[in-house]
Amino acid sequence: MKQLITIDFPESLAFSLKMDDKEFKQEIKTVSLIKLYEMGKISSGTASKLLNISRVDFLDMLEKYNVSYFYNGLEDELESDSGNA
């Protein structure tokens, strides 16, 4: 089941970022998921699935946002992935 989150922001914010509403909405979703990943709250697989991109594309995207793809839970995640292979 999907949930909807509403965020109030001034119109000038998207404009100052040179984004239309659709681009701004996607950016907010992306940075939220990247931050949750960075905090170790979600896996790269979960984030990539929610963004409808491959896991490799998600990990590549982290560089743009100055986020390392290494985090405390990465070893466990990699072990789990290799066990499922």
Judge whether 77 lies within some domain: yes
> What average pLDDT does the structure give for the chain?
87
User: Comparing C-alpha atoms, which of 34, 40, 42 is closest to residue 67?
Assistant: 34
- Specify the number of domains making up the chain: 1
Select the more confidently predicted residue: 53 or 1. Answer: 53
The residue written with tokens 């896991």 in the block is 55
pLDDT, tens digit, 9 for 90 and up, residues 15-36: 999 999 899 999 999 999 999 9
Decide if 68 contacts 62 (C-beta within 8 A): yes
Domain span holding position 49: 23-84
Judge whether 80 lies within some domain: yes
Please give the pLDDT value at position 2: 85
Whole-prediction pTM: 0.76
Please give the pLDDT value at position 83: 65
Judge whether 30 lies within some domain: yes
Q: Distance between CA atoms of 55 and 23, rounded to whole angstroms?
A: 21
Judge whether 58 lies within some domain: yes
Select the more confidently predicted residue: 66 or 73. Answer: 66
Judge whether 18 lies within some domain: no
Please give the pLDDT value at position 1: 83
Task: Tokens for 39, please give them.
Answer: 């905090």
Q: Give the orientation angle of helix 55-64 with respect to helix 44-51, to 10 degrees.
A: 90
Please give the pLDDT value at position 48: 97
